[in-house]
A and B are shown apart, each in its own frame.
Chain A
């Protein structure tokens, strides 16, 4: 290498280019995304069947239909805290939160979603955990698939609901308590079937378990967006 300034320039430019193209441009593109109703209208309040409409060949962003619900929705309360539990337990190493389009992989056939995930689905998430591994199933819509009790059992020991699963048990998210003589079993005690403690004892979820299950029950992409409809 004869010219050192050229070497430095090259080292700088390769990095600057890749940062711009891979990170900054998409950042610029996605900044405009906001929660949307399932259809958008133009300024005449006519549905436009997409995200943009054109006046004299110029594109304009569609407007939300007045009074319709907009999606996605921000997590609040227990579900919001539950996401932190999901994060600190490293759930994302075995579970994804992204549905691929129909015909690419078998995400639809496995019942993991009714439509492909799109960038707008994630705009309100402080931490996006798409995941890169499916040792366990995709969780994008797990909130629609099972009742809360199923999740408690599954978290306490996955063998209760899914025999042969290799998911780690999370007994430390639960307390084993003596059943109160005066009041009987607690309201939120969960029947752990073969994994129930001895007679006179019950398994009660801690607040962290409740938060986590609230989060899981909130994992749903069961709405349509201007750019994506069911079965796409």
Chain B
């Protein structure tokens, strides 16, 4: 892949000789090697921890007596620990590994003083460990997505800033005239997150706002963490990787501009649809509903742009580990966006609200979209950072099939189960009395939760395959002559 000159041109059509370019990228990779690998390895550890916690929580959801005598292992705490491990452990670490690297490459800016990045990485993960232990210990804060005790929040914000500043510096000293779409997304995301995080911490934890303003702030944070942090990073990564791997430019510059601005405009207001029917002013909810529907614009536009770039290169895509994951993620970006817009409609929300459907939606976005694109990025990045190839294509395939199918099974099970749960919860007989007893609904939901656990089990197998391959590669010796031979998952990629 890296031997194909047209890849590079697709990122910056106006640059000099290819060899010079590759040398410069090599320099960037060289400077990012240590910090990126620190974040990546941490991310993989948190991913495994989060997966195990998820399995425990999933078992507890149907078998409440499992580990039931332990206060540390009670469902609420496991749930919170899983959520925070996945978002701040896996999500943020993998972003800190991938996004600055892509930014530095696109800016052709060698990152200096990477010791500071290393320090940030160590502090981030230490703070996170303390935070997760705090949740288990009982210092949990009752605010979704911000459960980690308040004593770690300042450390996290500072270490975050230490990472973010290198993204800004790389951008400031960029060597290229043209600013590529991935750079807008990454730059914007690194600007939005500290704003979101500090406002949410202050208004919810340190100086709590009055009454349901807390709930509004919470949903504003929660949804924008997805929409203005994880989503732009994942899209920026997809915009970087797809042309790189396939060696063709993005379909339309114009569509990228429309997609970027409409995402920023509409996602920022969409979160409030999660309070439909709740005790908040109706006008705020209406704004949330309208912007959630308007979100269809960036979703359709970005989908067209990414998919038209891939069209006609399906065999090459299928052969590349990176492309399999990224395209899977991109397709689910479209799916999750369309479903999200539906869920924001008041009469759909009446059924899906307060059910497993919402949980399914969250996993759809965070796993099938965001995480899958990040896996794709790891498959692309590690060989270039370590100058080694993947040791075992079978493990990559296992990861892809298990994560892909397990993810779909989980999302479908939760959504169908949630729909059934919601319908039965609201069903009234002719006399206006509920048709289903509450405990009956609990019982009827169980088969779907078992299916969800099966999906989770498959995902866990996938993650262990992934981790095994990552560490196998790290601990294997460098073989210089193998560098130009990328790992392919099919033997004849050029048959088309």
Asked if residues A21 and B277 are in contact (CB atoms below 8 Å), the reply is no
Cα distance A56–B438 in the bound complex, in angstroms? 52
Chain B residues within an 8 Å CB radius of A23: 199, 203, 209, 213, 216-217, 220
Cα distance A137–B224 in the bound complex, in angstroms? 28
Q: Report how many residues on chain A are interfacial, defined by Cβ distance under 8 Å.
A: 72
Cα distance A132–B358 in the bound complex, in angstroms? 9
A30-B210, A169-B64 known; A98 and B77 CB under 8 Å?
A: no
Asked if residues B142 and A92 are in contact (CB atoms below 8 Å), the reply is yes
Asked if residues A33 and B432 are in contact (CB atoms below 8 Å), the reply is no
Asked if residues B64 and A166 are in contact (CB atoms below 8 Å), the reply is yes
Asked if residues A137 and B438 are in contact (CB atoms below 8 Å), the reply is yes
A1-B179, A14-B268, A33-B211 known; A7 and B281 CB under 8 Å?
A: no
Chain B residues within an 8 Å CB radius of A91: 76
Quick one: CB contact mask for B258-296 with A, threshold 8 Å, 1 for yes? 000100110011011011011111001001100000000
Which of A43-51, A111-119, A141-149, A178-186 forms contacts with chain B?
A111-119
Q: How far is the CB of A73 from chain B (nearest CB, A)?
A: 14
Residues from 93 to 138 in A contacting B, C-beta threshold 8 Å? 93-94, 96, 98, 100-101, 104-106, 109-110, 116-135, 137
A23-B217, A90-B80, A164-B442 known; A122 and B212 CB under 8 Å?
A: yes
Cα distance A135–B449 in the bound complex, in angstroms? 12
A18-B268, A88-B139, A164-B443 known; A109 and B428 CB under 8 Å?
A: yes
Cβ of B105 within 8 Å of any chain A Cβ, yes or no, is: no
Chain B residues within an 8 Å CB radius of A194: none
Residues from 439 to 454 in B contacting A, C-beta threshold 8 Å? 439, 442-443, 446
Cβ of B191 within 8 Å of any chain A Cβ, yes or no, is: yes
Which of B65-73, B109-117, B152-160 forms contacts with chain A?
B65-73
Chain A residue at smallest Cβ distance from B426: A106
Chain A residues within an 8 Å CB radius of B359: 133
A127-B208, A172-B70 known; A19 and B195 CB under 8 Å?
A: yes
Chain A residues within an 8 Å CB radius of B433: 109
Cβ of B214 within 8 Å of any chain A Cβ, yes or no, is: yes
Quick one: CB contact mask for B35-50 with A, threshold 8 Å, 1 for yes? 0000000000000000
**A96 contact from B181, B191, B354, Cβ within 8 A:** B354
Cβ of B343 within 8 Å of any chain A Cβ, yes or no, is: no
Asked if residues A22 and B271 are in contact (CB atoms below 8 Å), the reply is yes
Cα distance A137–B425 in the bound complex, in angstroms? 10
**B428 contact from A106, A131, A132, Cβ within 8 A:** A106
**B192 contact from A15, A26, A90, Cβ within 8 A:** A15
Chain A residue at smallest Cβ distance from B446: A166
Cα distance A154–B279 in the bound complex, in angstroms? 28
Cβ of A163 within 8 Å of any chain B Cβ, yes or no, is: yes
Chain A residues within an 8 Å CB radius of B211: 30, 33, 119-125, 128
A88-B139, A170-B74 known; A104 and B61 CB under 8 Å?
A: no
Quick one: CB contact mask for A1-41 with B, threshold 8 Å, 1 for yes? 10010010011101101110111011101110100000000
**B220 contact from A19, A92, A166, Cβ within 8 A:** A19
Asked if residues B284 and A26 are in contact (CB atoms below 8 Å), the reply is yes
| Most A-side CB within 10 Å, residue of B71, B192, B209, B278 | B278
Residues from 44 to 69 in A contacting B, C-beta threshold 8 Å? none
Q: How far is the CB of A128 from chain B (nearest CB, A)?
A: 4
Asked if residues B76 and A90 are in contact (CB atoms below 8 Å), the reply is yes
Q: How far is the CB of B249 from chain A (nearest CB, A)?
A: 16
**A10 contact from B213, B261, B272, Cβ within 8 A:** B261
Cβ of A190 within 8 Å of any chain B Cβ, yes or no, is: no
Cβ of A167 within 8 Å of any chain B Cβ, yes or no, is: yes
Cα distance A92–B142 in the bound complex, in angstroms? 8
Chain B residues within an 8 Å CB radius of A18: 220, 224, 268-269
Where chain B touches its partner, the secondary structure class is helix
Cα distance A225–B272 in the bound complex, in angstroms? 25
Asked if residues B199 and A19 are in contact (CB atoms below 8 Å), the reply is yes
Asked if residues A123 and B210 are in contact (CB atoms below 8 Å), the reply is yes
Q: How far is the CB of A2 from chain B (nearest CB, A)?
A: 9
Quick one: CB contact mask for A189-204 with B, threshold 8 Å, 1 for yes? 0000000000000000
Asked if residues B142 and A127 are in contact (CB atoms below 8 Å), the reply is yes
Asked if residues B192 and A11 are in contact (CB atoms below 8 Å), the reply is yes
Chain A residue at smallest Cβ distance from B253: A1
Residues from 190 to 240 in B contacting A, C-beta threshold 8 Å? 191-192, 195-196, 199, 203, 208-217, 220, 224, 228
Asked if residues B69 and A117 are in contact (CB atoms below 8 Å), the reply is no
Chain B residues within an 8 Å CB radius of A25: 284
Chain B residues within an 8 Å CB radius of A100: 277-278
Chain B residue at smallest Cβ distance from A111: B434
Asked if residues A4 and B142 are in contact (CB atoms below 8 Å), the reply is no
Q: How far is the CB of A167 from chain B (nearest CB, A)?
A: 6
Cβ of A165 within 8 Å of any chain B Cβ, yes or no, is: yes
Cα distance A122–B13 in the bound complex, in angstroms? 57
Cα distance A124–B173 in the bound complex, in angstroms? 50
Cα distance A121–B278 in the bound complex, in angstroms? 12
Cβ of B187 within 8 Å of any chain A Cβ, yes or no, is: yes
Asked if residues B426 and A26 are in contact (CB atoms below 8 Å), the reply is no
Cα distance A14–B264 in the bound complex, in angstroms? 6
Chain B residues within an 8 Å CB radius of A12: 191
Cα distance A14–B268 in the bound complex, in angstroms? 7
Cβ of A187 within 8 Å of any chain B Cβ, yes or no, is: no
Asked if residues A127 and B61 are in contact (CB atoms below 8 Å), the reply is no
Asked if residues A11 and B279 are in contact (CB atoms below 8 Å), the reply is no
Cβ of A188 within 8 Å of any chain B Cβ, yes or no, is: no
Quick one: CB contact mask for B52-63 with A, threshold 8 Å, 1 for yes? 000000001110
Cβ of B144 within 8 Å of any chain A Cβ, yes or no, is: yes
Chain B residues within an 8 Å CB radius of A19: 195, 199, 220
Cα distance A170–B214 in the bound complex, in angstroms? 28
- For the complex of A and B, the 6 pairs showing the least CB-CB separation, nearest first, are A90-B76, A18-B268, A87-B142, A122-B211, A100-B277, A134-B354
Q: What would 21 A/B residue contacts be, using CB atoms closer than 8 Å?
A: A10-B264, A14-B265, A22-B216, A22-B284, A33-B211, A88-B76, A88-B142, A90-B77, A90-B147, A91-B76, A93-B75, A101-B277, A119-B280, A119-B281, A122-B279, A125-B211, A126-B208, A128-B215, A166-B442, A171-B68, A171-B69
Residues of A at the B interface (CB closer than 8 Å) are 1, 4, 7, 10-12, 14-15, 17-19, 21-23, 25-27, 29-31, 33, 86-94, 96, 98, 100-101, 104-106, 109-110, 116-135, 137, 158, 162-172
Sample of 5 further A-B pairs with CB below 8 A, known A22-B284, A135-B61: A27-B210, A88-B139, A94-B76, A104-B277, A106-B428
